[in-house]
Chains A and B, each alone.
Chain A
């Protein structure tokens, strides 16, 4: 079981944090700080695995982001590298050539994708396409309920605009 997943920028800023065990705010900050120190200090071509407290830490760098997760003893580290790779591929497919800025400006989407991929620290879906399909359908659902709530007071043209705007940047909160 994964205990946590953190996305850290090269400057040490937190871009995403998912905790699968109950942890206090203070402890979360402490762990994040320690991870930042440990992972960012690693020389470029070193091993991707570390030992920290009683967890195995697996980290991988993708461009300017470090993906860092804490595993239990029986978890397979090599496979976790594949899990991280798969998550990045899902983000890439969704955003189209994903970069750090996408994750900064659309962090809630990154979380939604993560929630279709990992639950309770375990892998939920192994298919490459299922997560993408679920996201699309959920967003359609979002649009539908949104237009339903708008229909009562605005002109009908707006509802057509929404259906045309498949570009996700336009659909803002």
Chain B
């Protein structure tokens, strides 16, 4: 059998192939030759054959028949064989195949080999692809090598140990003794890999972290090493553009970050060195900026003093002005991480960030957009929105959906006036109408309904927009709904905000009918316009025309349209007396907050106020999601469990009632707390809850504001309620809670929940944030709307959960001391 061709020869040959088919043919021929060579158990050329196989594998051809051969190479005595064998193992084998376990014994022998390069091969292979079983078997050998004085092996053993710990975390303990004097090495390779090992151990185990912090006093050691690196003179071996071993510097900074996190002493010990690195590092090249970047991340994460934090944010600000795109990107990413905690500092760089919206690079634009939305607040809303709307106009389609959603959210939170809000939303709909999310249509409709004084203006603007363009479906849907509702305002020219336009009823009906026939309209849009036309029958005088349109569509092919048309026809023919009542103006809708956990809705099914609303149900056959919103409001019984009404015999039942309501919030820590308040509820409660008719004398509270009250004050957390009347509905009390924290630690993951007795309706809007800063540095606010149609005494049970100094806290309390004006 002639000697198999050499690897280089094969590569050269394959590269001469002009087509894919030719290449495949050559490869198949060679594979066949290799396979027969393997079968003959040829030791001399096995290495060459496996190498060729690896090349073909890289081209994408199957090479699994070479796996066992790799194992034979590893077991060979020749160093060349071992090298190719281990390379093949790393490329062809992985822990999913059982074959790899056969390697374990070979690796074990090689770990104890007399030649360090063989040991190195074994360590490298184990460190790159060792499975958990292999790691368990060989951890002892690795640990032994971690203690050797040979720095070539020591550094490899350290990274191998990192891999072992990642695969089998329980083995971490056994490497602890070997780490004792790792940092006293002079060799940079060992130092670097040791820092990686220590980082891995600290990240995985809080006990280890404490041990290293307190017992081994790691922080001073690391600070010293870092200082030496910075102060030392030029070392050709480790120099990168004038900086000595930047890789080691960055790793040390990262470990310092972990050690300093939420620990005051460690943070203080590293303040100086961080300031030194931050001010002295050369920033002309990428490598200096890499170190500064890591430094900034560390400063922001530990308990650094405020001067250092300001320094860090300023560094990020400088990064933003850098010509290098990578650095700008990295700055935007870091600012996004810090905007929650250091909001004011980041605000200072707002104009630079907004400029980044105009950058050509896609990654930068995205980051700048996210950061801009995070920076929007009540003060800068007008300016920011102008920039963001301009961005929305000109950005790529992939951004438009997210940008539109962001604009809606920001507008909802911070709109300075209703008119501005409506204008903004209209602008979004006209420019990016096809990219907005589905729920924006019902949300917008709700917003319009609630701004009573803007109806005329809104319908006029929407009408004008419709005249221009009927292709953007969300805009068309909202417009047709509005015209249906407020068409009478449109034709009567009542608009105050801007010049009223002259429109006749026929023109309006022309537009709506145009929507029905246009090819651009989706079925949903057609449904909207048909209903709008129908509604106009009570607002306009040209009823005959409307009757005609409706009867045409009662034979439409679209089932939905047909059904609507038939029902409306029936309305004209048989139920004409009911038509005005059914088609009258929609009442103001109470908005259901769309974020889950903080909201508790109560059903109020049987009592008076909900009855008129049910009349509107048949009309709300428009898009399913809008109908669902209203169903939620009316307390669809499947949404919230109905509270049982058997009260009179159970004295503690009232407390029990409220308990049930909070029961579905899974009170785990609760049981011992809750029964205590229950007995304190007076027995006279049941008649109070049952007795829907005896209400307190109604006072029209026209006088001054309702005084605020402290609802809860315990363990440093104080919650104050401030009141205002919602207008126009005097039955709604709007309570704003202010949560402040007098302790020294922040309260994070703060969640406020409330429940009210059955006759009330409650809505919780989203909180301003979920971190209550320490020492009264700020507060969390949240708005609660309580609908109290029966003017009963307001009582509330609140549940607070937060994390304080690392441990979760939960508390339940009752709030009974509402001032009388708040519920009268």
A123 / chain B contacts, CB cutoff of 8 Å: 192, 196, 247
User: Are A108 and B54 in contact, CB atoms less than 8 angstroms apart?
Assistant: yes
A172 to chain B, nearest CB (A): 5
B363 / chain A contacts, CB cutoff of 8 Å: 46-47, 49-51
User: Are A120 and B160 in contact, CB atoms less than 8 angstroms apart?
Assistant: yes
A87 / chain B contacts, CB cutoff of 8 Å: none
A169 to chain B, nearest CB (A): 8
Whether, in the assembled complex, B111 has its beta carbon less than 8 Å from a beta carbon of chain A, the answer is: no
User: Are B240 and A82 in contact, CB atoms less than 8 angstroms apart?
Assistant: yes
Whether, in the assembled complex, B287 has its beta carbon less than 8 Å from a beta carbon of chain A, the answer is: yes
User: Are B192 and A126 in contact, CB atoms less than 8 angstroms apart?
Assistant: yes
Give which listed residue, A82, A115, A149, contacts B246 with CB less than 8 A.
A82
User: Are A76 and B162 in contact, CB atoms less than 8 angstroms apart?
Assistant: no
Given the known inter-chain contacts A22-B94, A22-B96, A105-B8, please indicate yes or no for A142 contacting B79, CB distance below 8 A: yes
Whether, in the assembled complex, B504 has its beta carbon less than 8 Å from a beta carbon of chain A, the answer is: no
Prevailing SS type, chain A contact patch: mixed
User: Are B188 and A124 in contact, CB atoms less than 8 angstroms apart?
Assistant: no
User: Are B55 and A119 in contact, CB atoms less than 8 angstroms apart?
Assistant: no
User: Are B247 and A82 in contact, CB atoms less than 8 angstroms apart?
Assistant: yes
B120 / chain A contacts, CB cutoff of 8 Å: 134
A24 to chain B, nearest CB (A): 7
Q: Which residue of B is nearest A112, CB measured?
A: B83
Residues A83-136 near B (CB distance < 8 A): 83, 86, 104-105, 107-108, 111-112, 115, 119-120, 122-130, 134
Whether, in the assembled complex, B155 has its beta carbon less than 8 Å from a beta carbon of chain A, the answer is: yes
Q: Which residue of B is nearest A171, CB measured?
A: B80
B238 / chain A contacts, CB cutoff of 8 Å: 126-128
User: Are A173 and B7 in contact, CB atoms less than 8 angstroms apart?
Assistant: yes
A47 / chain B contacts, CB cutoff of 8 Å: 325-326, 328-329, 361, 363-364
Whether, in the assembled complex, B128 has its beta carbon less than 8 Å from a beta carbon of chain A, the answer is: yes
User: Are B51 and A108 in contact, CB atoms less than 8 angstroms apart?
Assistant: yes
User: Are A78 and B326 in contact, CB atoms less than 8 angstroms apart?
Assistant: yes
Whether, in the assembled complex, A10 has its beta carbon less than 8 Å from a beta carbon of chain B, the answer is: no
Whether, in the assembled complex, A64 has its beta carbon less than 8 Å from a beta carbon of chain B, the answer is: no
CA distance A76 to B325 in the complex (A): 15
Q: Which residue of A is nearest B366, CB measured?
A: A51
User: Are B48 and A46 in contact, CB atoms less than 8 angstroms apart?
Assistant: no
CA distance A45 to B362 in the complex (A): 11
B131 / chain A contacts, CB cutoff of 8 Å: 22
Q: Which residue of A is nearest B152, CB measured?
A: A134
Give which listed residue, B11, B124, B189, B362, contacts A126 with CB less than 8 A.
B189
B294 / chain A contacts, CB cutoff of 8 Å: 76, 79
User: Are B54 and A82 in contact, CB atoms less than 8 angstroms apart?
Assistant: no
Max chain A C-beta neighbours (<10 A), residue from B47, B48, B120, B294: B120
Residues B75-109 near A (CB distance < 8 A): 77-80, 83-84, 87, 91, 94-96
Q: Which residue of A is nearest B12, CB measured?
A: A105
Residues A131-145 near B (CB distance < 8 A): 134, 137-138, 141-142, 145
Whether, in the assembled complex, B127 has its beta carbon less than 8 Å from a beta carbon of chain A, the answer is: yes
Whether, in the assembled complex, A48 has its beta carbon less than 8 Å from a beta carbon of chain B, the answer is: yes
A57 to chain B, nearest CB (A): 10
Interface size class of A (residues with CB under 8 A): 35 or more
Give which listed residue, A14, A119, A125, A142, contacts B160 with CB less than 8 A.
A119
A145 to chain B, nearest CB (A): 5
User: Are B115 and A141 in contact, CB atoms less than 8 angstroms apart?
Assistant: yes
Q: Which residue of A is nearest B117, CB measured?
A: A138
User: Are A126 and B247 in contact, CB atoms less than 8 angstroms apart?
Assistant: yes
CA distance A19 to B129 in the complex (A): 9
Chain B, residues 517-548, CB within 8 Å of chain A (1/0): the string is 00000000000000000000000000000000
Whether, in the assembled complex, B582 has its beta carbon less than 8 Å from a beta carbon of chain A, the answer is: no
A120 / chain B contacts, CB cutoff of 8 Å: 127-128, 159-160, 162-163, 166
Give which listed residue, A19, A51, A146, contacts B80 with CB less than 8 A.
A146
B188 / chain A contacts, CB cutoff of 8 Å: 125-127
Whether, in the assembled complex, B473 has its beta carbon less than 8 Å from a beta carbon of chain A, the answer is: no
A86 / chain B contacts, CB cutoff of 8 Å: 240
User: Are B162 and A173 in contact, CB atoms less than 8 angstroms apart?
Assistant: no
User: Are A173 and B361 in contact, CB atoms less than 8 angstroms apart?
Assistant: no
User: Are A141 and B79 in contact, CB atoms less than 8 angstroms apart?
Assistant: yes
Q: Which residue of B is nearest A58, CB measured?
A: B326
A124 / chain B contacts, CB cutoff of 8 Å: 155-156, 159, 189, 192-193
CA distance A7 to B248 in the complex (A): 25
CA distance A172 to B240 in the complex (A): 34
Residues A1-28 near B (CB distance < 8 A): 13-20, 22-24
Whether, in the assembled complex, B173 has its beta carbon less than 8 Å from a beta carbon of chain A, the answer is: no
User: Are A107 and B58 in contact, CB atoms less than 8 angstroms apart?
Assistant: yes
User: Are B325 and A20 in contact, CB atoms less than 8 angstroms apart?
Assistant: no
Give which listed residue, B55, B193, B289, contacts A78 with CB less than 8 A.
B289
User: Are A76 and B51 in contact, CB atoms less than 8 angstroms apart?
Assistant: no
A23 / chain B contacts, CB cutoff of 8 Å: 94
A146 / chain B contacts, CB cutoff of 8 Å: 78, 80
B387 to chain A, nearest CB (A): 21
Whether, in the assembled complex, A30 has its beta carbon less than 8 Å from a beta carbon of chain B, the answer is: no
Whether, in the assembled complex, A165 has its beta carbon less than 8 Å from a beta carbon of chain B, the answer is: no
Whether, in the assembled complex, B219 has its beta carbon less than 8 Å from a beta carbon of chain A, the answer is: no
What residues make up the interface of A, taking CB atoms closer than 8 Å to B?
Answer: 13-20, 22-24, 29, 45-51, 74, 76-79, 81-83, 86, 104-105, 107-108, 111-112, 115, 119-120, 122-130, 134, 137-138, 141-142, 145-146, 149, 172-173
- Among all A-B residue pairs, the 9 with the closest Cβ atoms: A78-B290, A79-B290, A120-B163, A119-B159, A120-B127, A47-B325, A125-B189, A126-B247, A119-B127
Show 11 residue pairs from A and B whose CB-CB distance is below 8 angstroms, ordered by the A residue. Answer: A22-B131, A24-B94, A46-B362, A47-B328, A48-B325, A78-B290, A82-B240, A134-B152, A138-B117, A145-B80, A149-B78
What residues make up the interface of B, taking CB atoms closer than 8 Å to A?
Answer: 6-8, 11-12, 15, 47-48, 51, 54-55, 58-60, 77-80, 83-84, 87, 91, 94-96, 115, 117, 120, 123-124, 127-129, 131, 152, 155-156, 159-160, 162-163, 166, 188-189, 192-193, 196, 236-238, 240, 245-248, 250, 254, 286-287, 289-290, 293-294, 325-330, 360-364
Known: A22-B96, A47-B326, A108-B54. 15 other contacts (CB 8 A): A14-B58, A49-B329, A82-B290, A83-B247, A112-B87, A119-B159, A123-B192, A124-B189, A124-B192, A126-B189, A126-B238, A126-B248, A130-B237, A142-B79, A172-B6
